[in-house]
Amino acid sequence: MRDQNVRINHLIRAKELRVIGASGENLGVISLTEALAAAREADLDLIEISPTAQPPVAKIMDYGKYKYELKKKAKEVKAKAHVTETKSIQVKIGTGENDLNLKAKRVAEWLSEGHRVKIDLFLWGRYKYMEEAFLKERLERFLKIIPSEYKIADEIKKSPKGFSTTLERAAGKGKAQKEESN
């Protein structure tokens, strides 16, 4: 169950170690036997913390407490890590106002969670051959009803499905910035 890369007590191979005492004091560079004797005297373990340093650094402490602290640090790092996803939403020419408002609220939720949002104006059949300016204006009208702040990561451009754009959460920008970006 022990970590393979952490050496404790007699598994430490270095002849000399820079040792940190149980209460955090620096005991200096001492031999392995002296360090083990100091750990035994304190009724604790000698744990090699930095094996690549010259000389390697070891600390006198309880091994169970050391493992607990490592798990706690790993858990904090994992909690702070946020995976950003690109969510996608599709709008059509004939989509009703209520449905557009619901989709805009969903986009705002995703943006508040920190995700990127790709918005596609889906065109099919004869809609593909409509005037480009009209189609872009239709997508811009949808962007205006999104209730949260955002910035446009990718400008509106033609895509295989029709027209698409990508939005990101605006970091600390107000509504005035949103209006400028539209």
Which domains does the chain show, CATH number per domain? 9-78 (3.10.20.80), 86-181 (3.30.110.10)
Q: In what order do the strands lie in the sheet with 45-50?
A: 26-31, 16-20, 57-61, 45-50
Can you tell me the mean pLDDT for 52-77?
A: 90
pLDDT at residue 141 greater than cutoff 70: yes
For the chain, what percentages of helix, strand and coil (3-state, to nearest 5) are there?
A: 40, 30, 30
Within 10 angstroms of residue 154's Cβ, the number of other Cβ atoms is: 14
* Residue 85, amino acid: E
Neighbouring residues of 31: CB distance < 8 A, sequence distance ≥ 6:
15, 16, 17
Contact 170, 178 (CB under 8 A): yes
63's tokens = 């091994």
Mean pLDDT estimate for the chain: 86
Question: How many C-beta atoms lie closer than 10 Å to residue 114's C-beta?
Answer: 12
In tens, the pLDDT along 66-83 reads 899 889 999 988 888 777
Q: What percent of the chain has pLDDT over 70?
A: 92
Mean pLDDT of 92-97: 90
